[in-house]
Chains A and B, each alone.
Chain A
Amino acid sequence: MRLTDLPLRQPAYVDLIDWNALSASDGQRLREFGLCEGASVEALHHGGLLGRGPIACKVGRMTIAMRRNHAAAITVRTGPQDEAA
């Protein structure tokens, strides 16, 4: 499922990131925030009254905020972590 659909406070792992859907600089910034295939991720808050605001999520030990179009490019998976990353 996409990160946008991940229920709040349910630990998950990044399965796939569609880097082509992100601009080069946004992709780089996400990488620098520690986002990569296999990274642990947990959605914490959805901003905005009508559900159109950004998403705050925990990536590793960091809390970051991103807009929904970025979150939509990230596919996540719940369940046991695979240690390949």
Chain B
Amino acid sequence: MTGLPLIALVGNPNAGKSALFNALTGARQKLGNYPGVTVERKAGRLSLSDGRPIELVDLPGTYSLSPTSPDEQVTRDVILGRQQGERLPDALVVVVDASNLDNHLRFALELIGLGLPTVVALNMVDLATRDGLELDAAVLSRELGVPVISTVAVRKRGLDHLRAELESLLDGSGGMVRASAEQRDFDGLRREARRIARAAIVRETPSRRLTAAVDRVALHPVAGLILLLALLFVMFQAVYAWSEAPIAMIEGVFEAASNAVAAELPDGLLRSFLVDGVLNGVGSVVVFLPQILILFFFILMLEATGYMVRAAFLMDGLMARVGLSGRAFIPLLSSFACAVPGIMATRTIADPKDRLTTILIAPLMTCSARLPVYAVIIGAFIPARTVALGIGLQGLVLFCLYISGIAGAMLAALVLRRTVTKGASGGFLMEMPKYQWPRPQDILLGLWQRAVIFLKRAGTIIFTSTVILWLLLSFPKAPDNGGISQVNYSVAGRIANGLNLVLEPIGFNRDISLALIPAMAAREVAVSALATVYSLDSKEDEAKLERSLGERLKDHWPLPTALAFLAWFVFAPQCISTIAVTRRETNGWKWPLFMIGYLFVLAYAAAGLTYWTATALGLG
């Protein structure tokens, strides 16, 4: 490891620790507002005023040194020098929320008692002032026996002061153990914390608290639920409404590129590879970047403002009914963006069976990778008309798909909790952070990271699967005069024709079977795969090249097939990353295999029921 001095950032959840970490190191990280967003080791470099580098590690937020979850255990073990792969920190920065001193000081006292060189960052003093609270940092410092620095991490206030204090702490720390290094029991610490907090409060004017006012609506059993549903509904409408212009732009770029390649290169393998394989395949996925970013924008905002925990509160009654912990709601909501961070976020759930159930149903939350699939099918088959005041039919269908995923997940949890993960339900105990307006930079940063991840996927997994599929589709070459289509003659076509025996009863055609194979790598590959199939199949009619994938699908698929395809993707476990992270988080293959099994069964049943119902209704 590096020989740099190590400083650990430690404190209660919601003390603004991650924001302080970002402000100090300039590290590019996600900023959340609910307990549990900091799970993995986060480290960054920080230069002292004399240019000396030190390493700063951001430890998971915890309420005490008696852990109740795996990530809290990491915090305790690092601070006690017991964590494997981490050296004992040379100093601690204890972050406390200025407006919650009684509580946060208890943990601060516990930490100071360990005897490590310590500085306390009295964070979010601006929010305390907003709530009419005035504090004296000098009194606090005298009572605690360690330096106390007032900071506002999100405004970068107090950071130079903190850096200077760290510098003198490291210089003077040689073997020094604080005199106050005595251990007290929990109640003793609590009483002491309360006494010190009272001493440090200069003035407390009862003021109208923003959070309490907003919560009167946001947590109201009726109004709050309406607000939550309205927020989700606006989110899904925005995914369509705001994305039209940027999508048209991206489509234009890829079309121009295809035309340029077609004009420059003679008809042949290379041109087919570039136009049908690369540009058509990758382009058909990249085009969904605007929609994915809009979705992430909403999720990042809900997290950063502190609303996410309120949503969990509103939904807990429902979660309890299916035997889940209310805490599961946050990982599940994150899974709307992507199941991988969602499954990792389940580490904050203490009860093992609660956690396992949450992991198993997380892939049922409609992740952003499904969006390209939904978007292309909805765009092709669902007319873009308004059903009621400002409500588009397409957005409505998308909303229903999300609801189907949620309903499926609740049903799955209900069954799982009574069978494979039987046991008493865990509780719902959460702190509700104050509302906070996020910094635009943090939201933009989050969006930028998502865009990079998505484009990297498009450039690697999606590109590779698309190219392999193009190869399998292009060879062997069908005889020119045989009257047999290239797709049917190719290797991929032959595999798909075999697979189609199983999938035909639920209304899938050969092209869908073909697209589902590479889509095991990632869901959105289904779109690029279909684009490649129909691009190759339209050779004989050059004019068709100008047509969008949606238009081509409309020619080839009856409506019940399209609907069955949508239903399939609500449930199917088509994502290698999710399976890999499930294996890692459950320490073995047993649960990921179980997950794949039950989700495929659900997908098959849902697609079948949709197809048969739609056919019976005469929609074909």
Contact = CB atoms under 8 A, between A and B. Distances in A.
Nearest to A24: B68
Given A28-B66, A33-B63, A60 B102 contact: yes
Nearest to B14: A62
B340 to A, nearest CB: 27
Given A28-B68, A49-B317, A65 B430 contact: yes
Interface in A27-69: 28-34, 36, 44-50, 52-54, 56, 60-67, 69
Contacts of A53: 221, 313-314, 316-317, 320
A67 B219 contact: no
B100 interface: yes
Contacts of A46: 221
A65 to B, nearest CB: 5
A34 B105 CA distance: 11
B115 interface: no
Contact of A56 (B225, B313, B427): B313
| Chain B contact residues: helix, strand, loop or mixed | helix
A62 B431 contact: yes
B212 A44 contact: yes
Contact of B317 (A26, A29, A52, A69): A52
B222 interface: yes
Contacts of B101: 61
B211 interface: yes
Interface in B468-511: none
A30 B68 CA distance: 12
Contacts of B320: 52-53, 67
A47 B313 contact: yes
A66 B429 contact: yes
B190 interface: yes
Main secondary structure of the interface of A (DSSP, over half): mixed
| Interface magnitude class on chain B | 35 or more
A49 B384 CA distance: 35
Nearest to A69: B427
B466 to A, nearest CB: 46
B432 A65 contact: yes
Contact of B215 (A31, A45, A49, A70): A45
Interface string B99-131: 111110011000000000000000000000000
B429 A34 contact: no
A38 to B, nearest CB: 10
B431 A26 contact: no
B100 A67 contact: no
Given A32-B63, A36-B187, A54-B428, A67 B103 contact: no
Contacts of B429: 26, 29-30, 33, 64-67, 70
A44 B216 CA distance: 8
B427 A70 contact: yes
Contacts of B242: none
Contacts of B277: none
A4 to B, nearest CB: 14
A63 B432 contact: yes
Given A33-B431, A54-B428, A48 B103 contact: no
B221 A49 contact: yes
B326 interface: yes
A25 interface: yes
A41 to B, nearest CB: 13
B222 to A, nearest CB: 7
Contacts of B66: 28
28 contacts: A23-B427, A25-B68, A25-B350, A28-B64, A29-B63, A30-B429, A32-B106, A33-B63, A45-B219, A45-B220, A45-B313, A46-B221, A47-B219, A47-B221, A47-B314, A47-B317, A49-B222, A53-B221, A53-B317, A53-B320, A54-B428, A61-B100, A63-B215, A64-B429, A64-B431, A65-B316, A65-B428, A70-B427
Given A36-B190, A47-B314, A64-B430, 10 more contacts: A31-B190, A46-B221, A47-B316, A49-B225, A53-B313, A56-B215, A62-B103, A63-B211, A63-B215, A65-B312
Q: Which 5 A-B residue pairings sit nearest by Cβ, starting from the closest?
A: A48-B317, A53-B317, A32-B63, A45-B219, A63-B432
Interface of B: 63-64, 66, 68, 99-103, 106-107, 186-187, 190-191, 211-212, 215-216, 219-222, 225, 309, 312-314, 316-317, 320, 326, 350, 427-432
